[in-house]
Structure formats: C-alpha cells, structure tokens
Chain A
Amino acid sequence: MKREIPILIVGITGVILFLQYFIPTDWSMQLLGTSQDWVIVIGILALPLGIWSLVKANIMKLQVKGERFYAAVLLTGFLVMLIFGLPHRSSLEQGSTFMTLFNTILIPIQATIFSLLAFFVASAAYRAFRARSVLATILLLTAFLVMFRWLPLGFISTADNAIVAWILSVPNMAANRAIGMGIGLGGAAMAIKIILGIERTYMGHD
C-alpha cells in the first residue's frame, strides 16, 4: 500500500489534468487553479526542510578549520536578511534596511560574478576558435559573422544581416527544433510512464 497509493494518486491526478487541458470550461479552469495552489502548498512545505538543512550543514562547518569563515558569512547573511526582511511589508520598499542591503551587497556581488564571464569567454575564444579542421573553420567563420551582427557597429553589423538571418533561421533553427522536439517527446514519454506507474524512481527507495 505504501507504493500503490502514491502511484494511484499520481495516475488519477495526471489523467485528470491531462484531460483538463482540452476542456476549456469554467469548472475546468477552477480545477486547474486549485491544483496549482496545491503545487505551491506542497512546495512551501519543502522550504523549512531546505532552510533547516542549510543551517545545520553550515553550523557543522563552523567546527571545520578552513570552512569556518565561509560558513560564518553564510549564516550571518542568512540571519541578517531574515531579520530585516521579515518584520513588515515596508521593508520591501526602497530605503529600508533590507532593500539597502539588497541593493548594495547582493546586486553588486551577483553582477560582478556574471561580469567575470567576459574574461573567461575571451580566454576560451582565444584557445578554442582556431581553424584546426574544416568543421572548426566553419564554426569560426559562423561565430565571426554572428558576432559582427550583434555588435552595434553601424554599416559593418548590418552588412551581414542577410547571412546571419539565414544562419539563425535555417541551420540554427533546424538544430534547435530537433533538440526541442527530442526533449518534448522525451518529456511526454516520461510523463506517460509516470502516470501509468511504470516510472517509479521519483518515490525514492524504501
């Protein structure tokens, strides 16, 4: 029963929501709304578990020399944002301590980390874009053409508009659609297997 009941719930829910998609009536939309609320409620139940796991792991790391500093930074950041974020809704408005911390610490940190990508891309391009073979040469030329198209360089970037439009809308689209169709069919097959109870790994092991 420990396995049969969850399989039954998943199967019935899956079939109902599959049929719901094709029945555009008020009660069907209400059903969709209710089931979406259920997903959110179930997801929220996982949140305390995640917080507990994160805090516990980092409290343990406080005992380990070498990891102590990073764990302390994480726990301090977590507690500070929690304290200033919880009290009242005005904490979400500009000028509040929470928003000041968000604007002056989190935004610069995240933006800086993503900006580092420019340096890695430059280094990787220097080593990877070499015309070592016919395929590598095609890749190199394509990258060059597309890169010029994305640069705001006036007539230079508009000169190869037609070629880049063809690259994007023919070979690029063909490859992307093939990948997309593959993912879509794979997803549909997996969904059918889960609904029919053939795929059970999502339940974990006893």
Chain B
Amino acid sequence: MTFLEKLMQVDRRWIYLAIGVAVIIPAIKSFNVPVSPSPEVKKVYDFVENIKPGEYLFVAMDYDPTSLAELNPMAEAILKHAFIRNEKVVIVTLAQFGPGMVEAITSRLATEFNKVRGVDYAFLGYRPYPAITILAMGVDFRSPFPVDYYGTPLDSLPVMRGIKNFYNVKGVIDLTSGNTADMWLTDGNGRYGFPLAIGITGVMAANYYQYLQSGQLFGIIPGIKGAAEYESLIKRPGEGMTQAAYQVVAHTVIILFIILSNVAYFATRKGRAKSGGAR
C-alpha cells in the first residue's frame, strides 16, 4: 500500500489529533485575525447605534451552554453597545438552561458599565413554551412575566414603567442556537411586526439568510466571525476576537485535510480503476 493509498484510509484518530493540536496553538501563542464587518452584521450595529439614549432594546438570549462559545461573545458585544449608548435593555431567555448564563453576563456587564438592575435594564427570566411566551409578550410583558428573574414585580421596576409590549421597544435581537429564531420570525415579527435581527451559530447561518432578502430580518450575526465583527465595530475586542483565531486555525486544518483527501483520491484513482475497486 502506497503512502497516498494509506492517506485515503487514514485512521480518524489522526484527524482528531491534528485538530486537537491545532486548537492548542492559539492558546500557546495568541494572535489577531483580520476582521472586516459584513453588511448583515453592520446593519445590526447601525440599528443599535441609532436607538436614542433612554429608548428600549429587547434582547432574547435563547441559548444554553452547548453554544455559549459562539453566542456569549455576541451577547456581550450587543449589551456593551447598548449600555455604552445608555439605552434601556429588556432581556429574556427562552432556553431552559439559559437563566444562569444570562444572569452571569448581565450582572457582570452591569457592574462594568455602572448600570443598575431594574433601572437601566431588566432581566425578566425564563418561561417555557417559546412561541406562547412570544405571543403573550406581544400583548403584555407582564402576562408571561409578572415578576422578573429575581422575583420583583415588573410594575415595581422603574425600567419597566411605561413599557407594555413589543410596540414600546425599538427592536428585538434574538441570540439563539435553536428553532426559537423561527418562532421569533413567525410569532413575533410576523404577528407584531417589530424589527427583528438574530445572532446564530455558524452552522445555522445558511438557513436564515433567506429572511434577510424577504425583509423579515434586518440583520444577522453569524457565529464567532459575526461576534468578532460586532466587537470590531464597537471597538471593544473581546472573546469573539480571541475565539476567531481558534476558528481560523481549526478551519484551516480542515481545509488542508480536504485538499489532501482529494489529492490522494485523484492520485490513486487510476490504480483503483485498473483493479476494479470501488470509487
């Protein structure tokens, strides 16, 4: 068996090892990757940038720990942007493992930007049945969330006074790793007509670009690259930028493997044809 034939049947553990070693490289020697904002991310940035201080942004953080690596940097970048601009932020999570993560991020950023819980932002917490919760919030936030995450009645929160439902917020940004994006599209944007943008994992991105063209979404932040782009736009490099380096290295190794696999395939094709072997 020649070297190329061996390459065709390489043990998957070698591939695992190569990926494992590759992702360690940026941890040992960190480096920056060039980031140029894409139009779909720039639209989300422009939207948040154009909300006036004191006006409301609604952020749904509908993801659990499985996708925190991709979506936490996005959430942080958006919340930082809104806090810098002194916008009021209403946050919910429709993912069952979301509350703990959301609480950790919001309380940390609130401390960093001197924001007061209940005055500058509200974390309403989690409710099951995303579609029903979205529909109910369109009528009144107090219907699915009579109290916030910490048990305080919404009417007691200064930030929630004078705000009833989606008609009182400038727009909604949903950060999700599941099908809640579909529910925000159909039961939220479709029913109540508010401007909607989503932040999603890289693998989901292709499924949602159609909604950009139809105008149902005004922007998309796709995966780590999108998070890094948003961080570059607000000029506050964070986890997104750091993780982009890991992603570049891992993807480069995968691309090299694909090239290697095809070189081996074409180089050994003649031999396989002669021996009548399978392609």
Q: Which residues of A contact B (CB under 8 A)?
A: 29, 32-33, 36, 39-40, 43, 89, 92-94, 99, 102-103, 106-111, 113-115, 118-119, 121-123, 125-127, 129-132, 140, 144, 146-147, 150-155, 157-158, 161, 168-169, 172-173, 176-177, 180
Contacts and interface: CB of A to CB of B under 8 A. Distances in A.
B1 interface: no
Nearest to A35: B132
B104 A103 contact: yes
B113 interface: no
Contacts of A152: 33-35, 224-225, 228-229, 244, 247-248
27 contacts: A29-B139, A89-B151, A106-B65, A109-B65, A110-B64, A110-B65, A110-B97, A114-B66, A114-B67, A118-B19, A118-B250, A119-B16, A122-B18, A125-B257, A129-B261, A132-B265, A140-B258, A144-B258, A146-B206, A151-B248, A152-B224, A152-B225, A152-B229, A152-B248, A154-B36, A157-B225, A172-B206
B20 interface: yes
Interface residues of B, number: 69
A125 B206 contact: no
Interface in B5-45: 10, 12, 15-16, 18-20, 23, 33-36, 38
B88 to A, nearest CB: 22
A113 B65 CA distance: 10
B169 interface: no
Contact of A106 (B36, B97, B135, B261): B97
A36 B135 contact: yes
Contacts of A129: 258, 261-262
Given A119-B15, A152-B225, A161-B38, A125 B258 contact: yes
B157 to A, nearest CB: 15
